[in-house]
């Protein structure tokens, strides 16, 4: 079975408390919603303390066209992606040229040549490295990228693959979008990057977790649950209030199908969950009867960083691997939800 060998994260340079962001949001929405102060309670209800962005807070007081925002995305995604990749490889003192395949994950900007090509160019990687840029999976992207790396090293058991996820959600901010979805988004989303190294079972590098299997699920006719709407000014968030209800309704049967396939009848020992928000975590906890303690790391990452889309579950995985004892044979469920409406599940086992 393939191994999760190491992880690395990169935090955006500008950190702000939730209270630092409130004045800009109040000024932006006050003429649209007479009850703006009531609506702004969403900031407190998120249970997020701090978030990080690649641009200073003054940037969000201005209006920028899509071209300017996307160039900022390219410049910052390359830098943060390189930092996360190097941090991941440094954990095991590995050179990038010893890696065979790079999977790049993002949904918050556009680039052709893709960001992974720019990263490899900046790091002077060997010219024959395989690369797969994956776009459009949103919050599910980090777990999906890990699943695709698993697929690759299953087919190439002597090789190594690295997943790099970069999301700059702050750069998608639409100052002139006065919808409630955009208001909620201003309270949740943030920037970050993360990387995970995966090895085939015949490669020399091993790790604390080996991957037993994965499952992708797409809910039919659920396009309007989450995603982007596009205009000349860029990305406009689609964010349904029904997400927690869908989690409660769909996730238990999806996870039962997944664990039954692997004949996992005993309790899952560890949960590495994408914390999309407080209500989503509560939906996980209640619908699956997960002890609150087993969601502690996801809650910590959400509180300290906000929702960094695809990177967030990899931040949870990074803290899990570096801080938690994992006994041999213990089952770990890695889970993230994204547009589509979709879910990505990974079952891992302690080595």
Q: Which two tokens stand for residue 115?
A: 């960001």
**Distance set, CA 147 to CA 162, 197, 274, 348 (Å):** 11, 12, 15, 11
- The number of beta carbons lying within 10 Å of the beta carbon of residue 42 is 17
Query: What CA–CA distance (Å, rounded) separates 104 from 120?
Result: 11
Using DSSP's 3-state secondary structure scheme, residue 164 falls into strand
Q: Which run of H or of E encompasses 191?
A: strand 191-199
Phi, psi of 136 (to 5 degrees): 100, 0
Catalytic residue among 88, 139, 169, 311: 139
Annotated catalytic, 139?
yes
Measured in residues, the chain has a length of: 351
**Phi, psi (rounded to 5 degrees) for 266:** -80, 170
Token pair listed for 248: 């409660």
Q: Is residue 17 a contact partner of residue 182, using CB atoms and an 8 Å limit?
A: no
Could you tell me which of 329, 213, 326 has the C-alpha nearest to residue 262?
213
Alpha-carbon distance 232 to 234, whole Å?
6
E strands in 247-288: 270-273
Q: In what order do the strands lie in the sheet with 342-350?
A: 130-135, 101-106, 160-168, 191-199, 3-11, 209-218, 342-350, 331-338, 270-273
347: which 2 tokens?
Answer: 């079952």
Helix (H, G, I), strand (E, B) or coil at 221: coil
Task: Tell me the catalytic residues.
Answer: 139
């Amino acid at each position: 079975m393939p191994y999760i060998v190491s992880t690395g994260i990169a935090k955006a340079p500008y950190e702000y408390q939730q209270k630092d962001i409130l004045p800009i949001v109040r000024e932006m929405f006050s003429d649209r919603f007479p009850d703006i102060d009531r609506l702004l309670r969403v900031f407190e209800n998120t249970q997020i303390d701090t978030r990080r962005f690649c641009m200073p807070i003054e940037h969000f007081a201005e209006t920028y066209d899509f071209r300017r925002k996307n160039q900022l995305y390219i410049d910052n995604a390359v830098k943060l992606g390189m930092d996360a990749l190097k941090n991941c490889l440094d954990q095991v003192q590995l050179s990038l040229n010893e890696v065979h395949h790079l999977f790049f994950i993002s949904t918050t900007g556009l680039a052709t040549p893709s960001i992974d090509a720019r990263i490899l160019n900046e790091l002077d990687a060997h010219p024959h490295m395989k690369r797969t840029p994956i776009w459009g999976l949103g919050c599910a992207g980090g777990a999906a990228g890990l699943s695709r790396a698993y697929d690759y090293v299953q087919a190439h058991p002597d090789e190594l693959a690295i997943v790099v996820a970069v999301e700059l959600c702050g750069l998608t901010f639409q100052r002139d979008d006065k919808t409630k979805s955009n208001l909620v988004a201003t309270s949740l989303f943030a920037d970050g990057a993360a990387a995970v190294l995966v090895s085939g079972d015949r490669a020399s590098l091993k790790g604390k977790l080996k991957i037993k299997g994965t499952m992708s699920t797409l809910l039919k006719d659920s396009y309007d649950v989450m995603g982007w709407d596009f205009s000349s000014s860029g990305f406009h968030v689609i964010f349904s209030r029904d997400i927690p209800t869908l989690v409660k309704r769909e996730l238990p049967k999806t996870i039962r199908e997944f664990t039954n396939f692997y004949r996992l009848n005993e309790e899952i020992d560890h949960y590495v969950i994408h914390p999309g928000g407080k209500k989503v975590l509560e939906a996980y906890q209640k619908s699956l009867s997960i002890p609150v303690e087993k969601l502690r790391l996801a809650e910590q990452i959400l509180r300290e960083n906000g929702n960094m889309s695809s990177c967030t579950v990899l931040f949870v995985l990074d803290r899990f691997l570096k801080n938690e004892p994992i006994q041999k044979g213990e089952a770990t469920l890695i889970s993230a939800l994204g547009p589509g409406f979709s879910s990505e599940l990974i079952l891992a086992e302690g080595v």
